[in-house]
Amino acid sequence: MFSAIKTLHQGVDVCINNAGLARPEPLLSGKTEGWRTMLDVNVMAMSICTREAYQSMKERNIDDGHIININSMNGHSVAPQSVVHFYSATKYAVTALTEGLRQELREAKTHIRATCISPGLVETGFAFKLHDSDPERAAATYESIRCLKAEDMANAVLYVLSAPPHVQIGDIQMRPTEQLS
């Protein structure tokens, strides 16, 4: 992917890591395969893309790039639902990795910024994948409150990218006003 970006666009100036995956795999009875899949997508893929984006910026002397990790409110608190506990652990990892990245970028004496955007419930297909055996439950998740929309997420990204070069926005936590946790 990064090779194609280099060929087509010279490289990456802004990287938005937006992949996220949850499987209903509780800690006491979850399947190892489901846990590995969540780790691979939510932690490893994000880390690999971050490394490759940084290398692309470094090769081209980009000193004002930005790496934005789309996280989750589950990366800041653990919901009382056993099916999301392991997912929460992967999102806590995203929180820690974003702060670690910010620190490494400072050590590298670069002005590339790192930001985490942590939304609550966004109206996507996410709940349908989490509750794939119960589509009615998934639909009810989105009908229970007025959810965030993709446009809200895009606006958060634009806000982060429009910050002056001397401003580091570390984490935006956003949730629907009706969401309890």
Alpha carbon separation from 8 to 3, 4, 44, 53 (Å, rounded): 9, 6, 25, 15
**Does the CA dihedral 136-71-53-63 come out positive or negative?**
positive
Assess whether 54 carries a catalytic annotation: no
DSSP the chain: -HHHHHHHHSS-SEEEE---------TTT--HHHHHHHHIIIIIIHHHHHHHHHHHHHHTT--S-EEEEE--GGGTS--S-GGGHHHHHHHHHHHHHHHHHHHHHHHTT---EEEEEEES-BSSSHHHHHTTT-HHHHHHHHHSS--B-HHHHHHHHHHHHTS-TT----EEEE--TT---
A 10 A CB-CB count for 48 gives: 14
Q: Which among 54, 87, 92, 159 is annotated as catalytic?
A: 87
Name the residues annotated as catalytic. Answer: 87
